[in-house]
Every structure is written in structure tokens, then in C-alpha cells.
Amino acid sequence: MNQASVIVPSSPLYPPTITPPEVPLPLYRFAWRFLGNPLLAIPQQVYQDRFVVLRNPGAPTIAWITAPDLTERVLQNKDNLFVKTPLEKRVFKRSIREGVLTSDGPEWRWQRRVMAPLFRHSELGGYVPAMAEAAAELTSRWRRDGARKRAIDQDMADVTFSVIARTMLAGGEPDESETIKQCGERYLSRIPWEMLWELLGLPEWLPHPAVLALNRASTQMRSAVRAIINRHRRSGVSDAQDLLGQLLNARDPETDRPMPDDLLIDNLLTLLMAGHETTAKALTWSLYLLARAPHWQNQIRDEVMQVVGNSSISYEQISQLPITERVLKEAMRLYPPAPVMARTPVREFDLEGYNIPAGSQVVIPLFCVHRHRKLWDDPDLFDPDRFLPERAADIPRAQYMPFGVGPRTCIGMSFAIMEAIVLLATFVRDAEFDWDRVHMPEPISRVTLRPKGGMPLQVLPL
Ligand code: HEM
């Protein structure tokens, strides 16, 4: 039954953001701020200019680039000038090591080719029932628990991990899930130390205070993934069409060798981590914005009731939920789940008159691109209608790019969008979200964009 609803727009919503330093900081203050929240070390000019170059004696040059034509040039990488940064490789050297996210050249290409079939459009529809099921399980839990304040960030991490495990591993959610989730969380929260050491030009043999914690978390995560692989092998399933089956059957096109065990672990861990953390953050921030903007919540609820009713969302219905999609897109503009991308030039290059040496950090701070003063009207305002088709047509590709651009663009983009729409639509149909009018979560970069202090929201099952 269609219900008429009266929509009362609330006052404009300017959700929490950060206050950048007015000028580039001297090295010691840069380092201090970086450890707390790397976004707080990026100067205000980066939100206003095409690019900003920072040279600190003894440390690598940093170029923050925000102009869409320049970021597109870096990310498309037509002249093979850029590779993944030593910083990213160093940060992940203990955990996902040489997998598809961190490798370059032929090593990267064949791993990406092996994974590509799992993310083809023809495969994606098949994942939707598992997504809808995981969403329904969570909303049933909410119903059982009754109205109460919940750590929504935690709930989102649990449900997205469950989706990735059910869809990528034929055996469903493994016993090792908790270890991988918790160690992953610990690993990401200690990473700024490793980043800072690299940015200061400090050698790898010089330990920093987070070395032990990083080592411990990565050893535990990797043994958990090894256990999953061993169990899969013991089960005798050799031609499984799930991710692990594909990886086990993959052959290097040049040598015909199978993927060595260490590389198998790198990639399975990459997919489990990259495939749940980011989507969890997209949903966490979306629900926060909806809790602050109840009239958007009502619009989504009406849309879902009209298109889906009380059933599970099907693949075909996903494209019929444009309001849900607009809210998600605007949430990922204001709070990009991966807030920073970076590359390193292998040769020096000229950036509009500035010489950028080989080995520099060329940083594309999505957080700043998505809130750039010269690119967006009222950039800090929550306004999902920016993504109405007639308005979105004018947005250049490299001005809004939560999934990146070019050959290294997110392999899981379509999967993630589908998943986020199915989950968000189900949650808003089945529950109401409210905030306590006190918690103003600062967005804090820990590879993914977290809400400082977590995301407590009042959940009222409907
Ligand atoms: C809202 C969810 C997601 C966001 C915002 C996101 C964002 C990104 C971004 C920005 C990159 C490019 C990094 C760069 O160029 O440096 C990337 C790469 C990647 N993402 Fe995602 N991602 C999401 C979900 C997923 C999912 C669901 C999967 C897998 C199931 C996944 C797997 C990967 C992998 C493997 C790469 C590396 C690709 C390569 O280097 O060839 N991501 N992601």
C-alpha cells in the first residue's frame, strides 16, 4: 500500500569536518598532527588551489594535487610515470605485502586479471541474495535487542565482513572472521607511525613505538588466512568458482606457475580487508547523516516501501532506488571511505612549473578534492541532490571519485555500490536512526575514514 507522507525539510546540515592548518606546518608540528589525524596536517590551501608543493629538507617532497585534470593525469598514468608509493608498500609490508593493491607492473597486472572475473557484471547479480540475507540478519538482531543505542560502526564492520566472506568464500563465514576483523582494526589504527617514519625519511631498521603491535596483528591475521586456505585445500574442492578457488587455480601467464602460498595469503587478505572496511565506513557515515537529516531517512523509507515492500531487495530493484543511491553518493563525497590516494613518480616531472623529483609523494587527498572551495557549491553542506542526474552530469570524473580513476580504480566498485544500496535500503526500511545531539564525530584518517569516538546511534526497530 502506498502511503502519502509529508516531507518537512530540516535546516541545512553542515556535518562535522576538520579545521585544516592555515599554512603548511613546520616539520615537528606536521609530524605531531599527522600522528593524531593525517588530515589535520594538510594545509588549507589544498582546499583552494590546484596543487600545493611542500619541500622539507631531508624528507621526500610532498605534492598535494586536487585539480581534476591533474589528478586524472596522475591516476590514468598514460606515460608510466607513476607507481604505488614506497609509503604504501612500507605500511602494508607486514600484512598484505605484494598483493594486487600494493604491487606494480606485470606482477600487478596478472593478479588483477585473475580477480577480474569475480567482479564481472554477469557475476554480480548472484551476490545480491547473500547481501540481502546479511542485512536481514542484522535487522532481526536489532529487533531482538529492542530500541537502544548501538555502536553502528561496529555493526557495519560485522555485516560487511559477513557479506564479503559469504560471497567470496564458498564455505561461508569462516571461524577465523573475528581474528581477521579485530587484528585488521588494530593494524590500521597503528599505521600512522609507519607512515610518519617514511615521510620523515627514517630507515626501516629504526623501530617506532607501534612495531610490536603491527607485527603481532599481522602474524595473527596471516595465520588465520592460512588456516582458511588449508581447510579449503583439505576439503578437496579444486575447481570452486569462489575467490579462493580462482586464486588456487590461477597460473602465471608467462611461467604457468601457480600463485605461491604467500601471494595467496596477500590477496585473500587484501580482498577481505579492502572489501569490508571501506563499505562499512560508507554505511556508517551514511547512517550518521541520515540520523541528522530525518527527512532524507523518510524519503528513503518511502522509496524502499514503494519499490520493494517488505521483501528482500533483488538485483533488478537496486537501480530503482535513486534516492538511496544519492544519499550514499553524497555521504561518500563528504566522507570518502578511502580519503587519500598517492603515487610516486619514477622520474622527475614538471608540475606546471614546479620540479617534482623522482621518489616524491604525489598525494591525491580525496577528502580535500570532494570539499574543494573552487570545485563545489557550498562544499560542506550535505545535499544529496547534487547527484540528481541533471546536476551530476556537470561533475568531472576526477572531481568525484570515491573509488579512484584509471587502471588502478577499485576492482570492487560495482560490488560495493550494490552492497551499500541493498544494506542501506534494508536498514532504513527496518529501523529509525537518531543521534544524541552531542556526539560530533571528527573524521579521522586511518587508511579508511573513521569517526573519532566511534559512531553511537540510537536504533529504533520498526
Ligand atoms: C565503498 C567501498 C569502497 C571504496 C570507497 C573503495 C575505494 C577504493 C579506492 C579509492 C581504490 C584505489 C586506490 C588507488 O588507486 O590508490 C581501491 C582499490 C581497490 N579496492 Fe576498493 N573500495 C571499496 C570497496 C571495495 C570492495 C568491496 C572490494 C573487493 C571486494 C575492493 C577491493 C579493492 C582492490 C583489490 C583494490 C586494488 C585495485 C588495484 O590496485 O588494481 N574495494 N578501492
* Ligand 1 near 279 CB (within 6 A): yes
* Ligand 1 near 363 CB (within 6 A): no
CA distance 405 to 397: 8
Measured in angstroms, how far is the CA atom of residue 403 from the centroid of ligand 1? 6
CA distance 47 to 62: 15
pLDDT of residue 240: 62
* Ligand 1 near 362 CB (within 6 A): no
Measured in angstroms, how far is the CA atom of residue 156 from the centroid of ligand 1? 17
Residue 244 backbone phi and psi in degrees, to 5 = -65, -40
* Ligand 1 near 402 CB (within 6 A): yes
Among 343, 253, 327, 258, CA closest to 290: 327
Among 245, 22, 283, 29, CA closest to 134: 283
* Ligand 1 near 408 CB (within 6 A): yes
What's the pLDDT tens digit per position in 278-296? 999 999 999 999 999 999 9
CA distance 285 to 153: 9
Rama region for 437: left / alpha / beta (φ>0; ψ in -120 to 50; rest): left
What's the pLDDT tens digit per position in 299-311? 999 999 999 999 9
**DSSP string computed for 387-421:** GSHHHHTTS-TTTS-TT--STTS-TTHHHHHHHHH
For the ranges 339-343, 344-348, 435-439, which has the lowest average pLDDT? 435-439
**DSSP string computed for 328-366:** HHHHHHHS-SS--EEEEESS-EEETTEEE-TT-EEEE-H
Measured in angstroms, how far is the CA atom of residue 205 from the centroid of ligand 1? 30
* Ligand 1 near 344 CB (within 6 A): no
pLDDT (mean) for 370-381: 98
Among 284, 331, 326, 324, CA closest to 301: 324
pLDDT (mean) for 82-110: 92
For the ranges 239-253, 331-345, 362-376, which has the lowest average pLDDT? 239-253
Measured in angstroms, how far is the CA atom of residue 386 from the centroid of ligand 1? 24
What's the pLDDT tens digit per position in 97-127? 999 999 999 999 989 988 888 888 888 999 9
Measured in angstroms, how far is the CA atom of residue 269 from the centroid of ligand 1? 13
Among protein residues, the one with the nearest Cα to ligand 1's atom 18 is 410
In the chain, pLDDT over 90 holds for what percent of residues?
A: 77
Measured in angstroms, how far is the CA atom of residue 410 from the centroid of ligand 1? 4
pTM above 0.85?
A: yes
Measured in angstroms, how far is the CA atom of residue 437 from the centroid of ligand 1? 33
For the chain, give every domain's residue range. 27-453
The CATH class given to the 27-453 domain equals mainly alpha
Beta bridge partners of 449: 445
Confidence label for 238 from pLDDT (cuts 50, 70 and 90): low
Among protein residues, the one with the nearest Cα to ligand 1's atom 37 is 101
pLDDT of residue 6: 47
Which segments within 67-184 are labelled E, that is strand? 82-83, 148-151
pLDDT of residue 243: 79
Among 129, 174, 117, CA closest to 419: 129
Ligand 1 atom closest to residue 406's alpha carbon, by position in its atom list: 15
Q: Is the pLDDT of residue 462 over 90?
A: yes
pLDDT of residue 219: 95
What average pLDDT does the chain have?
Answer: 92
Cα 14 to chain centroid, rounded = 22
In the chain, pLDDT over 70 holds for what percent of residues?
A: 97
Ligand 1 atom closest to residue 75's alpha carbon, by position in its atom list: 15
Mode of pairing for the β-strands spanning 51-54 and 82-83:
unpaired
What's the pLDDT tens digit per position in 38-51? 999 999 999 999 99
CA distances, 413 to each of 36, 120, 410 (Å):
29, 11, 5
